[in-house]
Amino acid sequence: MKVYQGSNFSQIITKAFGFVLFCTVTSLLFFADQTFAQSGITGLTGAENLIKLITDSLRGPIAKGVSLIAIVGLGFAAWSGRLTGALAVKIIVGIVIILGAAELINLVTGVAV
């Protein structure tokens, strides 16, 4: 059994998150017609619908679920003694940026996203 330590663990987490993000965006692109037909969003163009769908996904239950899995992964890494401060900071800052992006845009521009 291979044991992952330090940067190898963070590389695996990064690759897994990238793969999930790639699969999500790819599926949104391939099934965009069905999704837009059922979404009930009116008055927007196709590109605006796609962007709204992606941003809603990144702020909704998908992002919260992925964040929960990342935090549980941090817990397992800490439990097994493989958690470094840098890895914990990277994951926590990433979660804060992804989930807080809409509020940051609202603060800078004054327009609700």
Determine the pLDDT at residue 5.
56
As a whole number of angstroms, the distance between CA 35 and CA 15 comes to 27
CA torsion sign for 21, 23, 27, 30 is positive
From 8-12, 29-33, 88-92, 94-98, the region with the lowest mean pLDDT? 29-33
82-92: pLDDT as tens digits: 888 888 898 88
Contact indicator for 83, 74 with CB cutoff of 8 Å: yes
